[in-house]
Structure 1
C-alpha cells in the first residue's frame, strides 16, 4: 500500500512540474510576442538598413497629423515624393520655390532621419522652359547644360550637408536596355547623365549620389543599367548607389529575376536602395508592368474589383508577397542601404490613380486609417529573427 501511495505522489508531482513548465514556456513566449508587438519597423531593421517612406505635401505641411505619427514612429528615412521635382521646385528660369522642400528637410532633421532628395534630372515633371528659348524652339546643347548645372548646383547646394543622398538621374534607361530619347538626350546627348552626376558632386562632395529606375528586374534593362554605370565608373564619375524602384504586383516581377538584378548591381560596387516600394493588388490593364507616369488606361469596372475591401485570399497573397520581398532584402542586407515605401498609407498612394484613374488599391503597409496591416508584424518578426550582417 505504501509503495502505491508513493507512486501516486510521484505522478502528482510530475503533473505539477509539467504544468509549471508549460506555464513558464507559455509566459515566456507571450512576453516575447508582446515585446515584438511593441517593436517598430525602424527598431526591427536597426543595424540592417534604413526603412523609409515618401512624404506628400499634406504631411510635410503637418496637416495630415495621423500619417505624421506613423512616420515618426515607424520610419528613420524620408524621401520627397514630389516637392523636389524640377517642375515644382524650379517652375521658371530664374525662380525657385523652396517652401515645401525646406519644410521637408527641416522635418527630417528634427526627427533625426536619413533624408533623400528626389529627383534632380528626370524627363517627366520637368518644366517646359528648361528645353526651349523665348520663341519656343529647342535651346542649344550649351544652354541646356548651363540650365541643368544651375538647377543642380542651386538645389543641391541649398541643402549641402543636410540631404544625405540624391536621386541624381531618374528613369533614363528603357526596358530594352537602351537610353531613353528624352529632351536631355536629344539636346545634350548621352553624356547628360555624366554631367548631372558631376554637377551634383561639385555641389555637395559628401552627399551620396544615386541612379533610380523602375522595372529593374527586367533582364534587358538590367544589362542596360550595368552598361551605363560601368561607363560612368570608367570615366571617374562618382555614383554611390542604384535605386531599384519596387513597384511590384502580386505576380510580377519574378522575385528570382529581382534578386539577380540586385546581385548584379551590387557587383558593381555600389549600394542598393529599394527606392519606391509598393505592391498593387489590382489587375494589370493589358498586362502593363512598367512605371512610366505618362502611361494611362481607360477606367473599366473589372479593373477595380475591390472597392470596399480585399477578399481574404487576396490579403493572404499580398501579405506573403511583402514578406517574401522583405526576406530577400534581409538576405542581402550587407549591400542594401535603404528600403523606402512609396507613401505612408493606402489612401495616399499614387497607385489609386495610376495607370487607371479612380481605382481603389491597397499597396502599402498601413491601411487607410493608418493602422498597420498584419504583415507588418510578420516583417518585424522576420527582421528580429535575422542576424545582423557582418
Structure 2
C-alpha cells in the first residue's frame, strides 16, 4: 500500500516533478502519490517565453502522464514575479501601462487555463507578500505598475477562465507570525471585495529546526478562520538550518535522519488533526534523488528532504508517518 493510500481518509498526497524525470521517477510517483505539480514547466516563462508564443510541450507531457495514471494535477503557477518574461512588463524601452499589463495577464491566464480545463486547483498568485517587516507587497514589476490591484485582476481572470476551478494564493514563510499576518490581511481584503479566492497554499519549505509546530498550527488556524481551504503545496524538510552553510556531508548522519523522522511524524500528526480544512499535502519532489535544495541556499550541496531516499526506498520518516496512519485505521 502506497503513501497516498495510507492517507486517503485524510487528504490527497502529491509530489512535484518535471517531465524529464518521469522516466526515472514515474513508477514511484504512480505508486505513492495521487496528484502531481509541475515544478517549473507551467511557470509563465516556460509557457509563454515571448508574447503570443505559447509552448505547451513540456507541460503537456506532465499532464498526459498524470491523466494516464489517474493522478490529479495542481496548476502552478499563473502569475509570479520570477520566471516571467520581461516582455510582460515592457513596451519597447518603457514599462507598459497598467491597462496593457492587465490585458497581457488576462491573455496568458485564459490561454493556459483553457489548455487544461480538467485542472481543478491553480496557484493563481505566487509569493506576492514581502518578507521585510516594513513592506506589505513584494517589490516587483507587477506591484510597481499596478499595485495590489494586479492580484485582484489575476483572480478575476482565472475565475472567468474556469468558474469551477479552485483558486489559490501560494507563499513561503507562511508560518512566520509577521508574514502570516500580512498574508491574512491580503486574503481578508480580497474576500471582503468579493474577489474569487478559494484557498491558501502553504508552501512548507521547512527544516529540522523550524518553524515550530506551534507556529505551523497557528498559521493553519489563521487561514482556516477566513473560510479558505488549505493545501500544503511544496513540502520538504531540509536537514540544514538556514544559516548552516557546511557542504562536507556526502550522506545524512543517523542523527539527522532521526530528527527528520521525528519532525515529519510531528508535522503529519498535526496535519491529520486538521483534515477537515486541509485538502492536500504536496511534497516539492518525489524522493531524495532530486531536490532543488541540493543547490539552494548552498550551491551544489546535497540535501535529503523527503520520505524516500535516492533509491526510492522508504526512510524512517516514511515509517513514522505511515505507522500512525495504519494504527488509526484499525
Q: Report the TM range for the smaller structure's normalisation.
A: over 0.9
Residue 115 of structure 2: which of 114, 137, 158 is its match? 158
The answer to whether structure 1 residue 235 and structure 2 residue 197 are counterparts is: no
Q: Give 3-state SS (helix, strand or coil) of 1:366's partner.
A: coil
The answer to whether structure 1 residue 305 and structure 2 residue 248 are counterparts is: yes
Q: Which residue in 1 is equivalent to 2:281? A: 339
Higher normalized helix content (fraction of residues): 1
- Which runs of structure 2 are paired with 1:137-148 in the superposition (5 Å)? 137-148=94-105
**Count of residues paired in the alignment:** 328
Deviations 1:263-310 (A, max 9, x none): 11011111111110000112423x7xxxxxxxxxxxxxx611322x22
Cα distance between partner residues in 2 of 1:120 and 1:387: 38
Deviations 1:170-218 (A, max 9, x none): 0001233711121101101111111000000000111110000000111
Residue 326 of structure 1: which of 268, 271, 279 is its match? 268
Q: Quick one: structure 1 residues 386 and 238, their matched pair in 2 at CA, closer, same or farther if it must change by over 3 Å?
A: farther
Residue 387 of structure 1: how far off its partner (Å) = 6.3
**Do the aligned partners of 2:18 and 2:62 also contact (CA within 8 Å) in 1?**
no
Residue 133 of structure 1: which of 68, 85, 91 is its match? 91
Q: Which residue in 2 is equivalent to 1:35? A: none
Cα distance between partner residues in 1 of 2:192 and 2:312: 46
Q: Which residue in 2 is equivalent to 1:149? A: 106
The answer to whether structure 1 residue 170 and structure 2 residue 130 are counterparts is: no
Deviations 1:247-276 (A, max 9, x none): 111111111011100111011111111110
Cα distance between partner residues in 2 of 1:173 and 1:345: 30
Q: Which residue in 1 is equivalent to 2:17? A: 55
**Do the aligned partners of 1:40 and 1:380 also contact (CA within 8 Å) in 2?**
no
Cα distance between partner residues in 1 of 2:296 and 2:178: 24
Cα distance between partner residues in 2 of 1:385 and 1:271: 27
Moved over 6 A (4+): none
Residue 144 of structure 1: how far off its partner (Å) = 0.6
Residue 218 of structure 1: which of 161, 164, 176 is its match? 176
Q: Whose Rg is larger?
A: 1
Q: Quick one: structure 1 residues 84 and 342, their matched pair in 2 at CA, closer, same or farther if it must change by over 3 Å?
A: same
Q: Normalising by the residue count of structure 1, what TM-score does the alignment of the two structures yield?
A: 0.82
Cα distance between partner residues in 1 of 2:321 and 2:235: 14
Q: Aligned-residue CA RMSD in angstroms?
A: 1.5
Q: Which residue in 1 is equivalent to 2:76? A: 118
Structure 1 runs not aligned, ≥5 long: 1-38, 288-301
Q: Which residue in 1 is equivalent to 2:153? A: 195
Cα distance between partner residues in 2 of 1:284 and 1:202: 40
Q: Which residue in 1 is equivalent to 2:313? A: 371
Cα distance between partner residues in 2 of 1:140 and 1:240: 29
Q: Which residue in 2 is equivalent to 1:3? A: none
**Do the aligned partners of 1:166 and 1:209 also contact (CA within 8 Å) in 2?**
yes
**Do the aligned partners of 2:45 and 2:84 also contact (CA within 8 Å) in 1?**
yes
Cα distance between partner residues in 1 of 2:37 and 2:241: 28
The answer to whether structure 1 residue 280 and structure 2 residue 233 are counterparts is: no
**Do the aligned partners of 1:105 and 1:163 also contact (CA within 8 Å) in 2?**
no
Q: Which residue in 1 is equivalent to 2:223? A: 265
Q: Give 3-state SS (helix, strand or coil) of 1:54's partner.
A: strand
